[in-house]
Amino acid sequence: MGKTIKNIFYFGEKIKEFDVRVLNEREVRASAGILFCFAMIAFMNAWLIGNFNILKIFIITFLIDFFIRIFINPKYSPSIILGRIMVRNQKPEYVGAPQKRFAWGIGFILAITMFFIVVVNNILGPINLFICLACLILLFFETAFGICIGCIVYNLFNKERAKLCPGGICEIKKKEPIQKINFAQIVIVILFILSLVSISYLGVMDQNIAHNANPNFESNDQNITDCRVPDWAISMGHEKEYKLHHGCE
């Protein structure tokens, strides 16, 4: 019985090549991507139309998922199981389990906080959205860049630094030529951002000029501005947001 429990309740796998327990980074990133997708849906529903029901469901799901991966076994976490299915044909990338457990602990604390604020006490407001935004940032960096922010924090509070980090960033090494960034590339990024800002600014200016010139002007071209709110937007309580998105307010 004791051996059976021990075979279920553990964190990370033992691989003889490594001196620490490990996890498969590929399935961890995949699970982060799955959670990020649903977290974004919940966040946008709460932010845009004030519907916190989906957010409440996601908080409960997130809390259960992280409880399983931290206190029982990561391989029984529903999101990690789905991640494993998605990347089952990819070669595993082993990363140290201790720093991941610390990082997931941060996520678990955020989930508990959200659970008591939103689900238990039904307190709906900016604080919920800011915490949710923090979770989104953590999940996005994990899935998009393979950067575990919690793992970086782990090194700040532990004398024994993390081992087997994603992408081999724990080891000090010289960058390969393909990784180096030159001055021209930096200039291109800066010009690209400035172009986007300029285009956005000019678009807003054009709308303001047209409105100031003739406040009562209504275009016959529905592709330019149509302030008539459709029935579907009214039925879902999205009338104000619809007008705002179409430049009517």
DSSP letters for 193-210: HHHHHHHHHHHHHHHHHH
Over the chain, what is the mean pLDDT?
A: 84
**Can you give the pTM of this predicted structure?**
0.75
Which residue has better confidence, 94 or 126? 94
pLDDT confidence bin for 223, thresholds 50/70/90? very low
Residues 158 and 238 placed together within one structural domain of the fold: no
How far apart are the C-alpha atoms of 42 and 14, rounded to whole Å? 36
Domain that holds residue 11: 2-173
Residues 226 and 168 placed together within one structural domain of the fold: no
Residues 200 and 232 placed together within one structural domain of the fold: yes
Residues 198 and 80 placed together within one structural domain of the fold: no
Judged against a pLDDT cut of 90, whether residue 123 lies above it is answered with no
Residues 148 and 70 placed together within one structural domain of the fold: yes
Residues 51 and 80 placed together within one structural domain of the fold: yes
197 in any annotated domain: yes
Judged against a pLDDT cut of 70, whether residue 109 lies above it is answered with yes
Residues 122 and 59 placed together within one structural domain of the fold: yes
**pLDDT, tens digit, 9 for 90 and up, residues 75-103:** 999 999 999 999 999 999 999 999 999 99
Residues 122 and 222 placed together within one structural domain of the fold: no
Residues 75 and 196 placed together within one structural domain of the fold: no
Q: What is the pLDDT of residue 161?
A: 81
Residues 101 and 193 placed together within one structural domain of the fold: no
178 in any annotated domain: no
3-state DSSP call for residue 14?
coil
Sign of CA dihedral 68, 70, 76, 81: positive
